[in-house]
Amino acid sequence: MISADARSVKETERAVSQVRSALGLIDTLFLNAGVNVTRELSQWDEATFDDVFATNTRGQFFTLVHALPHLADGASVVVNVGIGASRGAPGMSVGAGSRGALLAMLPSLAIELAPRGIRVNAVSPGAVETPIWRKAGLSPAAVEATLEHLARSTPLGRAGRPSDIASTVAFLASAEASYITGREVVVAGGLGLGLT
């Protein structure tokens, strides 16, 4: 297992180099590191703001920068953004902004890497039952209540599963998606489609 702190460009560079040494050229790069901090606007401080952007934005961007020489021509890059980047929720402004920055970069990255046949797309999950909810600073009861509320608010009536996202990423990385680039695929069970 190779691990690195996404906030550290030096660690990211080391990890990418180790992956290249162990596996050769990279065919698929899934930029998935992220933190989720929920706070009211008045509760934010500079250190936490910087930490969120260092992980969610700078870390993802520089992982791609350092992976670029090791990406095979025709490779697929998939960025995990999340629907929060385009749909509001209380306490989520900084996380949404950090992911929204990646979404704003998507068309330019896709155009820049197209001459090498490298496709760059985003997957935007809705509410997915993963450990990140318990790391967001909410109490266990609040996490449970939030997930239940989101499931009730989702037209398909449930929170997402990690496998829902994994299969979408696998599709975007596959030959079946060879003519898709610069696009966001929302995997949210219809969350955010309604007027309420």
Q: Which of 164, 140, 47, 149 is nearest to 90 (CA)?
A: 149
What is the average per-residue pLDDT within 129-158? Answer: 82
What pLDDT, on a 0 to 100 scale, did the predictor assign at position 85?
A: 85
Over residues 56-82, mean pLDDT: 96
Each residue's pLDDT tens digit, 94-117: 999 999 999 999 999 999 999 999
Q: Which of 188, 86, 102, 94 is nearest to 137 (CA)?
A: 94
pTM for the predicted model, two decimal places:
0.90
pLDDT band at 195, cuts 50/70/90?
low
SS3 154: coil
CATH 3.40.1390.20 applies to domain 9-187:
no
Q: What is the DSSP letter of 194?
A: S
pLDDT computed for residue 90 by the predictor = 81
Residue closest to 169 by CA, chosen among 127, 131, 124: 124
> CA quadruple 104, 167, 130, 14: dihedral positive or negative?
negative
The position carrying tokens 């239940």 is: 148
